[in-house]
Amino acid sequence: MITLYHNNRCSKSREALALLEQSGKAFTVRYYLDQPLSVAELTALLKALQLPARDLLRSKEDEYKALDLANPVLSEQQLIEAMLLHPKLMERPVLQVGNKAVIARPADKMLALLA
């Protein structure tokens, strides 16, 4: 199963969607701002990305600064909880194909997963 975690207001996310549409493969779009991920889904996505939660955070968002998410003492669980409460903190777009995923910035990073 192919899933694109997508924010239509993001130009990079729209580029990834266009590339995915051109691939001809069947996929699902998850508008994660409207349908936030659960703890289990976010944890599974991080496992598929093979990244710690900190690497999926958007550090330029106001919430990142307001919540002091740069603080190195914050646990993995605290960072996950921050993304659950504030989905726009999650980097985008993310493409997941089965048990593998990639942050598609730039969109070309998706090509290896789609091959």
The neighbouring-strand residues paired with 57 are 90
2-5 and 28-30: which strand pairing? parallel
Catalytic, out of 2, 3, 9, 10 = 10
Say if residues 2 and 29 touch (Cβ distance below 8 Å): no
- Tell me if residue 10 is catalytic: yes
Say if residues 94 and 49 touch (Cβ distance below 8 Å): yes
Handedness of CA 12, 61, 44, 53 (dihedral sign): positive
Phi, psi of 77 (to 5 degrees): -65, -40
Active site residues: 10
